[in-house]
Amino acid sequence: MNAPEPKGSFKQVGTRPIRPDGVEKVTGKAIFGTDYKAANMLHGAIVRCPHPHARIKSIDTSKAEAVPGVKAVVTGADFPAIDDVMVRTGEVASSTLDLAINIMAKDTAYYDGHAVAAIAALTRQAAIEAARLIEVDYEVLPHVIDINDAFAADAPKIKESIETAGLAEGEEGRPNASLKFPSVKGDPDAAMAGAAHKVSGHYSLKPVHQGYIEPHAAVATWKADGKLDIWCSSQGAFDVRGLTAGVLHLDIGSIRVMPLEIGGGFGGKTTIYLEPVAALLSKKSGRPVRFVMTREEVFRATGPAAGGEIDITLGADADGNIVAADIEFQYSSGAFAGADTWAGVMHSVNHYAIENFKVVGWNVLCNMPKHAAYRAPGAPQINFAVESAVNDLADKMGMDPIDLRLKNAVKPGATGPMGNQLGEIGLVECLEAAKAHPHYSAPLGPNQARGVACGSWMNYGGPSTAAVSLADDGSVLVTEGNPDIGGSRASMALMAAETFGIPYEKVSVTIADTSSIGYSMVTGGSRTTYATGIAVIEASKGVIEILRDRAAKMWECDVSEVEWGEGEAICTGGENKGKTFPLTEIAAKAGATGGPIAFENGVNPLQHLPGYGVHICDVEVDKETGNVSIARYTAVQDVGKAIHPSYVEGQMQGGAVQGIGWALNEAYIYNKDGRLDNAGFLDYRIPVASDMPMIDTVMVEKANPGHPYGVKGVGEVPIVPPLAAVGTAVSRAVGKPMRSLPITPDKVQASLNGG
Amino acid sequence: MSRIHVTTTVNGDAREYLCSPNQTLLDALRDELGMTGSKEGCGSGDCGACTVVLDGEMVCSCLVLAGEAEGRRVDTIEGVAEGSDLHPVQQKFLENAALQCGFCTPGFIVASKALLEKNPNPTETEVRYWLAGNLCRCTGYDKIVRAVMDAAAELRQERTAA
Amino acid sequence: MANLAFHAPDTVKEATELLAANKGARPLAGGTDLIVQMQSGRMAPEAIVDIKRIASLGEIREEADHFAVGAAVACTALKDNKALVDEWPGVVEAANLIGSVQVRNRATMAGNLCNASPAADSVPALVAAGATAIVAGPSGEREVPVEQIPTGQGQTSLGDGEFVSEIRIPRQQKGGSDAYLRSIPRTEMDIAVVGAGASVTVDGSGTCTAARVAIGAAAPTVLLVEDAGKALVGSKLDDGAIAKMMEAVSAACKPIDDKRGTVAYRKTTAGVLAKRVVEIARQRAGEN
């Protein structure tokens, strides 16, 4: 089923046509989550706790309800009792109870911005004014936000229910640690003791936000028959449906989710915040209810990615083989469990063939919003420490940093983090490509320095459904359920066109609602081109089987004498041998030969492969002010087969720039009262156009045998290496290790001035 | 609060709407006129997704009160194409894959068009600094800058040919 | 914000009357501070008085002894006045660092001044240039040095019914010029962590005959560092004089730790930027 086509023989795959939804998006016609309006709809506003931790003693909604135009009010008490079940929110596991409480607090609010009540009113203004009139009696409780404070053995427990899972017999947990997860191989202590060279370091990272430009938005309408319609922008309508069903204790089939265009997600829109609130308000008011988050709400109450504290020691023998790794780290997950600790452990040293390691990850809770997935969740943080340490090791040994990595890089046939055997992975090829790249040997200017880092992400496959049908004129219609965040409609059309052997322009792609196509897992996890691609290819092949059958009928021969060529059936035997029927002709006769031609299938492919990237970063440092600029940046990545190369390059560039922002400028800043001080794009500083150079990309195309066209996931890998690439470059420029992110000018200046 | 009646010109057409004194031009375009092409990404002038041209100068429409548009000329993303003929900036964004999610794209297109009308031959640095007020989280800006330089070249060629 | 009124008068007199009639009224020029503050709930004016329809406030007049920049002149429009750019490049570049191009097409120096943020970009350059503000009010006009307008974070010395209708910048001396630099973590779009504006006048022998150094974001209001100017006057702007100037600047700074910067960083960087702006101003002055 999944044998790849011969290399280099593709006609459509690998080209760069204009995306099918492009014109709507450059003319402002596309309807995003924040654009959708329902007739007779009400506008919602949310009341949010202004304390980092508080018991909710009472909520008085009477004044709010008296405001003209207010049609409904809900609090946590309006949510149904539900069982605590673990569900996937994209790549992150959550408990439905935690999810529900995060959506609206019940008896306790756990962070500044935690939703405690909501209003629906005729106008947004009325809703906001009414929200201000809701009186909440809070008992402010002690809070912890900084991960070190939260992890301390004597830290105030932010929830009585926290118990450290994963402890060994007799082992002590920590008040706010929900998990300790160790992974041990070989005899790390002995190997470390015998190592010829050792490097150690402590690395710190602050929580960061995904930074999508479109705020969360949803419209929900609860109908008199108990069915719920939701329009929202998300990375997966099916998971919005499933999670909403879980939180509201509804049958999944009673909810229909219509996917709107999405203005960025990066993992942050694989969960839900507004949909159940809108649904309950709609139920009470009998009208559709719309919520759009303000930017401040997005920062105060959604995301973030985990902050981290990481201790690492690496040991190598005299030849540069890394013989031992000893890593212990804490990740913060906000006020609820689930910070990608497992992924952090699994992506710590899995890109190297290290025989002895001990990696221990802790999940620590603190009074911040519930953590959400952010592009390779859990990997960038640990990779910052590991790759920085590898660079330190190279320096110590006088070895070229790429040579050191080549010596230790994981190769095809190695065992992956899930215990599976790794097939055609391409880390070695990427390292070689990086080493051969002109950037790597380019001379550096004054006050400039260079850093290299590599990294990986496990990627995923998983369940997707796709349908392909033909119109009478031979137009091919593909229907699938994955929102198009970065050009995936084009990729699906290219794969379908390739499979049929027809021009790209003959294929149209529709992203259907949850009642119109079978289940698809999110657009995320670097899975869409791989898994949904397979669903589309298989559905196309299903249609081709029907076309062969219809041609055989028309030729009155056996179907074994019909082959499929480039957009046509070819007769290979009998009196019609050599004759052809183009797809268009068979389609025109569909009615006469058996009826409409269509095929739908659900797939669950798991022959995906991890992706690998190597990044080279040159920085220039102003030695007096500490300002760091990126002088040059190159991203090399093992991308499998690039279905649409422009969109693969786009993933590499976008991920690299997010990583650069993470390294240099982005962080949540809380004041001493536990309130978020930088809940906006002014002081939560993501890169702007003038901050960046061009991001050169090198796509190493080593095909994945587990996909008909060789696809590997590409979206998440590129955010993994930049933190260490930038950090190492600045460390070299400054002459001191810079191990605390973000590396802001004041830290650089202090280091240069002997601080 | 009593509403203000505003008469203004949007993309060359005489339009009118009612607005509250504290409503922004962005609100009026999106909610009163139903023109959802201009987006709200932050509401505080930090992201540029709401960029429109007001009396010939590009501004953040979230930082203009709806009442200020009285008697003025507003040009939005909806007016960039001529009928179904895309402007070269729009065409080059498509060809250069300068959009991924597309949410910031209207703001960038309005801003880029404004740049090229002022400076038909910008350097890469000039393009980047002009567009510093437009945030993109998906692309890392590389393909956007290439698209703008590409559109600039195309427009210069059209001008020479004309 | 019940009953917010919106007015767009076409004379200064009408504007002052509207402002005087309602303590909760605010003048609106570019709106790039006021509207942000209204949306966030930080400001809840009862009336908005849009001054942009007052024709005279949208002009830059070149008088014999000063430039008169109307309060409604947007920052980007300053760049179109060749004489202003020639004589006060630092003032023009400072005003054109505020926000983004979109913001600068609306923001004004008068608004930047009266918003009274300690980190306002145009203010150190205006102070270094010896600029004054024309304050229009119910009892007529008065002229004050710009540094007397902000009195604290978000506070001004303006009385009831008053607003700044014009910024006046003296015509440049022969051998004089200015410069402004600010420290921000990115390349654009940030509020200044610390800012430095300097104007110097240098005679034929290269001796500095006049100097003003002003620092922003290092105290609740802009600091005109008199000792810094004194350290430069009479010198040839040599390393020794510059070093003394930097010391005076660091000593005068009273910064705080906040989400944008630390005390240590602001003190050190203020000196660095002061050195750099003096050097740039000197080079420009040499060409004047």
For A105-132, the pLDDT digits (tens) are 999 999 999 999 999 999 999 999 999 9
Per-residue pLDDT tens digits of chain C, which is 288 residues long: 457 999 999 999 999 999 999 999 999 999 999 999 999 889 999 999 999 999 999 999 999 999 999 999 999 999 999 999 999 999 999 999 999 999 999 999 999 999 999 999 999 999 999 999 999 999 999 999 999 999 999 999 999 999 999 999 999 999 999 999 999 999 999 999 999 999 999 999 999 999 999 999 999 999 999 999 999 999 999 999 999 999 999 999 999 999 999 999 999 999 999 999 999 999 999 887
Overall number of domains in chain C: 2
Length of chain B equals 162
Residues of chain B with Cβ-Cβ distance to C51 below 8 Å are: none
For A354-370, the pLDDT digits (tens) are 999 999 999 999 999 99
C contact residues 111-150, partner A, Cβ 8 Å cutoff: none
Query: For chain A, what percent of residues have pLDDT higher than 90?
Result: 94
CATH of the domain at C131: 3.30.465.10
pLDDT of residue B9: 98
Decide if B5 touches A, using CB distance below 8 A.
no
**Does residue A635 have a pLDDT over 60?**
yes
In a domain, C147, yes or no: yes
Query: Stretch A704-709: mean pLDDT, rounded?
Result: 95
A703 min Cα distance to partner chain B (Å): 23
In a domain, C206, yes or no: yes
For A663-672, the pLDDT digits (tens) are 999 999 999 9
Residues C153 and C196 in one domain: no
Question: What fold, for B88-161?
Answer: DNA polymerase; domain 1 (1.10.150)
Chains sharing 3 or more CB pairs under 8 A with chain B: A, C
Which two tokens mark A379? Answer: 């990997």
What is the rounded CA–CA span in Å between residue A99 and residue A89?
9
pLDDT of residue A139: 98
pLDDT band at A4 (very low <50, low <70, confident <90, very high): very low
Residues C94 and C200 in one domain: no
Minimum CA–CA partner of A690 in chain C: C187
Residues C151 and C237 in one domain: no
Residues C101 and C128 in one domain: yes
CB atoms B99 and A261 under 8 Å: no
Q: Compute CA distances A205 → A340, A380, A614, whole Å.
A: 15, 10, 21
pLDDT of residue A415: 81
Decide if C247 touches A, using CB distance below 8 A.
no
Q: What residues does each domain of chain B span? A: 4-79, 88-161
Report which of B18, B21, B46 is spatially closest to residue B31, judged by C-alpha positions.
Answer: B18
Residues of chain B with Cβ-Cβ distance to C187 below 8 Å are: 129, 132
Residues C106 and C79 in one domain: yes
Query: Stretch A472-489: mean pLDDT, rounded?
Result: 96
What is the rounded CA–CA span in Å between residue A77 and residue C42?
31
CB atoms B103 and A263 under 8 Å: yes
Neighbours of C101 (CB within 10 A): 26
For A157-200, the pLDDT digits (tens) are 999 999 999 999 999 999 999 999 999 999 999 999 999 999 99
Residues C244 and C121 in one domain: no
What is the rounded CA–CA span in Å between residue A605 and residue A621?
47
For B120-159, the pLDDT digits (tens) are 999 999 999 999 999 999 999 999 999 999 999 999 998 8
pTM for this entry: 0.97
What is the rounded CA–CA span in Å between residue C32 and residue C110?
12
pLDDT of residue A338: 83
Q: What is the mean pLDDT of chain A?
A: 96
Decide if B141 touches A, using CB distance below 8 A.
yes
Residues C225 and C106 in one domain: no
pLDDT band at A5 (very low <50, low <70, confident <90, very high): low
CB atoms A682 and C183 under 8 Å: no
Do A716 and A210 form a contact (C-beta atoms < 8 A)?
no
Range of the domain at C215: 177-287
pLDDT of residue A755: 65
For an interface test with B, give the residue of A27, A652, A662 to mutate (most B CBs within 10 A): A27
3-class SS of residue A437: coil
**What is the ipTM for the molecules in this complex?**
0.98
In a domain, C12, yes or no: yes
Residues of chain A with Cβ-Cβ distance to B139 below 8 Å are: 650, 653-654, 657
For A149-169, the pLDDT digits (tens) are 999 999 999 999 999 999 999
Decide if B1 touches C, using CB distance below 8 A.
yes
In a domain, C50, yes or no: no
Kindly calculate the radius of gyration of chain A based on its CA atoms and give it in whole angstroms: 27
CB atoms C268 and A296 under 8 Å: no
pLDDT of residue A418: 65
pLDDT band at A701 (very low <50, low <70, confident <90, very high): very high
pLDDT of residue A1: 33
Minimum CA–CA partner of A678 in chain C: C259
CATH number of B4-79: 3.10.20.30
In a domain, C54, yes or no: no
Residues C154 and C246 in one domain: no
In a domain, C47, yes or no: no
B22 min Cα distance to partner chain C (Å): 7
- Which residue of C190, C260, C272 is in closest CB contact with A625? C272
pLDDT of residue A465: 98
Residues of chain C with Cβ-Cβ distance to A627 below 8 Å are: 183, 185
pLDDT of residue A90: 73
Kindly calculate the radius of gyration of chain C based on its CA atoms and give it in whole angstroms: 19
Decide if B112 touches C, using CB distance below 8 A.
no
CB atoms B22 and C188 under 8 Å: no
Query: Stretch A227-238: mean pLDDT, rounded?
Result: 97
**Does residue A8 have a pLDDT over 70?**
no
Residues C86 and C207 in one domain: no
- Which residue of C5, C40, C102 is in closest CB contact with B21? C5
CATH of the domain at C223: 3.30.390.50
Q: Which residues contact A398 (CB under 8 A, 6 or more apart)?
A: none
Residues C90 and C140 in one domain: yes
Residues C220 and C105 in one domain: no
In a domain, C22, yes or no: yes
Which two tokens mark C80? Answer: 């179109």
pLDDT of residue A3: 42
For an interface test with B, give the residue of C34, C39, C97, C100 to mutate (most B CBs within 10 A): C100
Query: Stretch A253-263: mean pLDDT, rounded?
Result: 97
Minimum CA–CA partner of C3 in chain B: B1
Do A428 and A411 form a contact (C-beta atoms < 8 A)?
yes
Which DSSP category does A260 fall into? P
CB atoms A746 and C186 under 8 Å: no
Give me the domains of chain A, ranges plus CATH numbers.
7-30+461-603 (3.30.365.10), 400-457+609-752 (3.30.365.10)
Residues C11 and C125 in one domain: yes
In a domain, C20, yes or no: yes
**Does residue A2 have a pLDDT over 60?**
no
Query: Stretch A713-738: mean pLDDT, rounded?
Result: 98
CB atoms C189 and A625 under 8 Å: no
